[in-house]
Structure 1
């Protein structure tokens, strides 16, 4: 309806009592003040001032605008300060949805690094397994989603409309009780475990595990299913079965009575961060992605720099 410059000039005219006084205070010429007020009156569609002798008197519409002018200018100033703080990385917020083992490994160092450099950025942490975390991103419930796929699934189409940042490859290992006959092997062939009883993980992990076993020529005997990593290891330690688990979990949680061994044929899951293309240009989101990349490089011993540029 009208722009902030006109409202600012109007506010000063009302405060100073005349066009001439407002011009002196603002460093404008009096004709410039007159032009600004004519433009404002055209925008609102009614006069705001009437002459009263040598002075000015506000019309009814002018009285209404005068009551709100200070609030309008204050709101604009506050918005400008807040936006400046965000663009200068003194403030901002990022919502992340990640699966449990990422929350325990990637998120803590990434968050610590981000807060050390930009303490004004707030991070909200949510938990969710893929593909639910990707759905949360699409719904707008989070700004960054951490999810995983398996190497055997890598030829599947990538999520449409999302910016993808591959973070690391997380090898799968087999968990065995220390007394297991194969526990002393450096690696274990999956086909050698055809007669074992198994503890399976989350729905996505279980589906992938079953496909791996089928490729090795057998159908696994799954006794228990749980996505609680500590429960899986405790069940293996108790001798109730064996399990396949991403090695990332072993970096923060390792039961003393089990051993982990690489499994052949080798397999791993690909951990990646996802965001919307529109969010990829937001400074706080970009910084979170950079922090996640650095944390992943530290964990995997890599020095990749593959953060997609804004707009890609």
Structure 2
């Protein structure tokens, strides 16, 4: 396929919106509903795009559509283009308002209870007109939002499996520790092993997270199944309430437990689970003034959390 086919004027932004909506929704019918247009319009637009590209973008099946290999490649670039346009719109709006604008920051557990709130407060003191939007989700969804231009930066554990196009900046390193409420019977045990701990109910991370994989590996090494009596959750408020109102155990970033007087670290080390906490940003996108202001405060406040700061 000649690259000139993408630049001869036939490719429109509506084609990019169509193809990403189809991929996100998994069917042409659902994409039409999401875009508030008819199914024939979506089908016609997809045919036009496939004719321009000279490849099939989706495989049709009885339960919907899935991207072909060519479709997955094109979708990656389509999302990047739309992300750049969203960013351009936001930056132009900020210039028109003559203020620093808004920043959307994603977060997932690590850094969410101390670093991020303190950095936001400091940034707001310096820029009262700054609007900060905090988005909590699993790392995979946050990465997708970052690449799509729906999020400016992510604060949390840096992932070795982050998608291409995302760069991580280390702020500090924080161990993961096993946690239970004050007064939990686990604290009466002397040097408990994992088999004994598995008899308690646990709050486990959901499957899309690296911490879930690390905990599963820990149980496998001890020839144990993960606890059958468990709740799978990554919402910090829900997780904390479960810990305080039941006999649950959970693996959490150490600073979350140390700063909570109602929680206590369990005397069971997780030496293999220690990861860098930092900020993830798009590799090919310069930060907005709002994102740069928050990033500056994140760096400043991280310096006081751990001596092992990059």
CA separation of 1:211/1:277 partners in 2, compared to 1, >3 Å: closer, same or farther?
same
Look up the match of 2:253.
246
Could you tell me how far 1:175 is from its partner in structure 2?
2.3
CA contact (8 A) 2:109 2:234 kept: no
Structure 1 distance, partners of 2:167, 2:286, is 7
What are the equivalent positions in structure 2 for 1:110-259 lying under 5 Å apart?
Answer: 110-149=119-158, 156-176=160-180, 178=183, 180=185, 183=188, 190=194, 193-203=197-207, 204=209, 205-225=211-231, 226-229=233-236, 231-233=238-240, 235-236=242-243, 240-255=247-262, 258-259=264-265
- What is the SS of the residue equivalent to 2:300? helix
Look up the match of 1:109.
118
Structure 2 distance, partners of 1:94, 1:248, is 25
CA separation of 1:246/1:91 partners in 2, compared to 1, >3 Å: closer, same or farther?
closer
- What is the SS of the residue equivalent to 1:249? helix
Residues 186-217 of structure 1 show CA distances to partners (whole Å, capped at 9, x for unaligned) of x7654663554433233324333112211233
CA separation of 1:125/1:244 partners in 2, compared to 1, >3 Å: closer, same or farther?
closer
CA separation of 1:231/1:172 partners in 2, compared to 1, >3 Å: closer, same or farther?
same
- What is the SS of the residue equivalent to 2:230? strand
Could you tell me how far 1:126 is from its partner in structure 2?
1.9
TM-score using structure 2 length: 0.57
CA contact (8 A) 2:100 2:289 kept: no
Kindly indicate whether residue 288 of structure 2 is the aligned counterpart of residue 285 of structure 1.
Answer: no
CA contact (8 A) 1:199 1:222 kept: no
Could you tell me how far 1:107 is from its partner in structure 2?
1.7
Bigger Rg, which one: 1
Look up the match of 2:105.
96
CA separation of 1:219/1:136 partners in 2, compared to 1, >3 Å: closer, same or farther?
same
RMSD: 3.5
CA separation of 1:231/1:95 partners in 2, compared to 1, >3 Å: closer, same or farther?
closer
Structure 2 distance, partners of 1:127, 1:179, is 29
Could you tell me how far 1:218 is from its partner in structure 2?
1.8
Structure 1 distance, partners of 2:114, 2:285, is 24
Look up the match of 1:30.
none
Structure 2 distance, partners of 1:111, 1:181, is 36
Structure 2: unaligned runs, 5 residues or longer? 1-90
| Number of corresponding residues | 216
- What is the SS of the residue equivalent to 1:107? helix
Structure 2 distance, partners of 1:213, 1:297, is 34
CA contact (8 A) 2:110 2:156 kept: no
CA separation of 1:80/1:158 partners in 2, compared to 1, >3 Å: closer, same or farther?
closer
Could you tell me how far 1:85 is from its partner in structure 2?
8.1
Could you tell me how far 1:271 is from its partner in structure 2?
2.3
Structure 1: unaligned runs, 5 residues or longer? 1-78, 305-312
Could you tell me how far 1:276 is from its partner in structure 2?
1.7
